[in-house]
Amino acid sequence: MSDLPRKAVTRTAKLAALPLGFAGRATWGLGKRIVGESAELVGRELQQRTAEQLFKVLGELKGGAMKFGQALSVFESALPEEVAGPYRAALTKLQEAAPPMPTSTVHSVLEARLGQDWQELFLEFEDKPAAAASIGQVHRGVWHDGREVAVKVQYPGAGDALLSDLNQLSRFARLLGPLIPGMDVKPLISELRDRVSEELDYALEAQAQQAHAEEFEDDPDVVVPAVVHQSDQVLVTEWIDGIPLSEIISDGTQQQRDRAGQLLARFLFSGPARTGLLHADPHPGNFRLLPGGPDDEDTWRLGVLDFGTVDRLPGGLPTPIGDSLRMTLDGEAEAVYELLRAEGFVKETIDLDPEAVLDYLLPIIEPARADEFTFTRGWMRSQAARIADPRSPAYQLGKRLNLPPAYLLIHRVTLSTIGVLCQLGATVRMREELEEWLPGFVPEEDLGEEESAAEA
């Protein structure tokens, strides 16, 4: 039997207690203010208590609750620095671990999916999980042919738990909104819910991972473990060692941070161009930094895990993204505005000032302007504050823009990746990656000149 609290009433009660707890702490904070404590101190303590309760509950429940917490975790950089510490600690716990399934449950799933003689498939199998996530946990083992493997076992009842949690969370999304300034939480929950069936399907995950493994097999920068075996609720892949990105964020050298950031940006943009798939779960728990040559951090590689959520983009990232970025950097306000309208970012019933739209976009795409850009929490916070302040023109304009469904997942992945880059504090040659991999960013006539020069 699963250790997930599967009864809807149990899970609902735990999740429903969250907004009540928020309200109770707000009242407690008001009382502290009345007796004379400073707003700054009260606010900081309030945020800390809120973070601790929220992520304790989300981590215990796994399922959709934990998936939501992981999605939020990459936006920690947007929080004001004076309250980011408690969130950072609580969120990091969600990126790498969760309470494990009992060994008896793991064995039952393996017997049901791999057969009664499942243990004969392994030379070794470690009952203690190496990692745990929102819908499954990973065990280390040695396959019968001698390869070290990672064995992902899905929690029984994970599908029901995911849908139940996300439905419940969506009911009080408005109360969760203030956790991440400038972010509308409700669409995030809705989009996560839409992806549930895909993430539960290990056959789809195996196909996406193997496509990446084959494409990046001899790549000097990116490592994707190959698929060894797949069945319903069980996925066996090659094992890779390395330093979790969460450890690089907390303790890595600046060289490691910069290298990890560069490779993360490279993978984000090159993946769709090379495989037609976009890895759509870029939280730090899904990446490792693998040593390359001895004592040479410039040759370290990025290990990529968990292909349960991908966006299928057969032609790579949409060309209008590159076109609009290039034209924005060139200051072509009218052309950018017309393209955004054509793609549905500006609805036909709405008229906006093209120059105001350009002013809104330029700070956001600042990393693409320079040859290299240092991502910082301060920069992320300034962007969040600019877009989230109801008094600012950017806030008012942002409310009138629309996000077409086809771009929803791309938008979330891009924001999440930027969040991780800011957590790393990495200096990245972003423009270099855009020029190499993003369709439309380099004008076709320039590409023609480059090809002619190469032939010559």
Q: For the segment 182-216, what is each residue's pLDDT rounded down to a tens digit?
A: 456 666 667 667 767 778 899 999 999 999 999 99
Q: Which residue has the tokens 């076992």?
A: 153
Domain membership of residue 445 (yes or no) is yes
* Angstrom distance (rounded) from CA 339 to CA 335: 6
Residue 214, classed as helix, strand or coil, is helix
For the ranges 1-15, 26-40, 234-248, the lowest mean pLDDT is seen at 26-40
DSSP letter for 281, please.
Answer: -
* Angstrom distance (rounded) from CA 430 to CA 297: 19
DSSP letter for 123, please.
Answer: E
Q: What is the pTM of this model?
A: 0.77
Burial pattern 126-155, b for ≥16 Cβ within 10 A else e, equals: eeebebbbbbbbbbbbebeeebebbbbbbb
Q: pLDDT tens digits, residue range 370-381?
A: 999 999 988 988
Q: Which residue has the higher pLDDT, 36 or 137?
A: 137
* Angstrom distance (rounded) from CA 267 to CA 302: 9
Which pLDDT band holds residue 288 (cuts at 50, 70, 90)?
Answer: very high
pLDDT at 6: 46
Query: Are 390 and 182 a contacting pair, CB within 8 Å?
Result: no
pLDDT at 25: 36
pLDDT exceeds cutoff 80 at 428? yes
* Residue 56 to residues 65, 84, 166, 177, 345, Cα–Cα distance (Å): 10, 17, 17, 18, 37
pLDDT exceeds cutoff 80 at 278? yes
* pLDDT (average), residues 130-136: 77
Residues listed for the chain? 456
Q: Which residue has the higher pLDDT, 97 or 153?
A: 153
pLDDT exceeds cutoff 70 at 38? no
Domain membership of residue 407 (yes or no) is yes
* pLDDT (average), residues 23-32: 37
Query: Are 304 and 223 a contacting pair, CB within 8 Å?
Result: yes
* pLDDT (average), residues 335-345: 95
How many structural domains is the chain composed of? 1
User: 19 exposed, middle or buried (CB, 10 Å; 0-12, 13-18, 19+)?
Assistant: middle
pLDDT at 60: 52
What token pair was written down for 309?
Answer: 């959520």
Residues in CB range of 295: below 8 A, 6 or more apart? none
Question: What are the phi and psi torsion angles at 420 (to 5°)?
Answer: -65, -40
Domain membership of residue 188 (yes or no) is no
Domain membership of residue 223 (yes or no) is no
Which pLDDT band holds residue 36 (cuts at 50, 70, 90)?
Answer: very low
Domain membership of residue 436 (yes or no) is yes
Domain membership of residue 331 (yes or no) is yes
Question: What are the phi and psi torsion angles at 321 (to 5°)?
Answer: -65, -50
Most confident range (mean pLDDT) of 49-58, 257-266, 344-353 is 257-266
Query: Are 212 and 312 a contacting pair, CB within 8 Å?
Result: no
Which pLDDT band holds residue 240 (cuts at 50, 70, 90)?
Answer: very high
pLDDT above 70 as % of the chain: 66
pLDDT at 5: 43
Domain membership of residue 93 (yes or no) is no
Query: Are 424 and 260 a contacting pair, CB within 8 Å?
Result: yes
Average pLDDT, the chain: 79
Residues in CB range of 290: below 8 A, 6 or more apart? 223, 240, 241, 242, 243, 300, 301, 302, 303
Q: Which of 312, 136, 307 is nearest to 224 (CA)?
A: 307
Q: Which residue has the tokens 């083992």?
A: 141
Most confident range (mean pLDDT) of 175-189, 239-253, 289-303 is 239-253
Q: Which of 19, 364, 397, 404 is nearest to 178 (CA)?
A: 19
In which domain, by residue range, is 336 found? 319-455
* Angstrom distance (rounded) from CA 178 to CA 254: 32
pLDDT at 390: 76
Domain membership of residue 385 (yes or no) is yes
pLDDT at 93: 55
At 446, the amino acid letter reads D
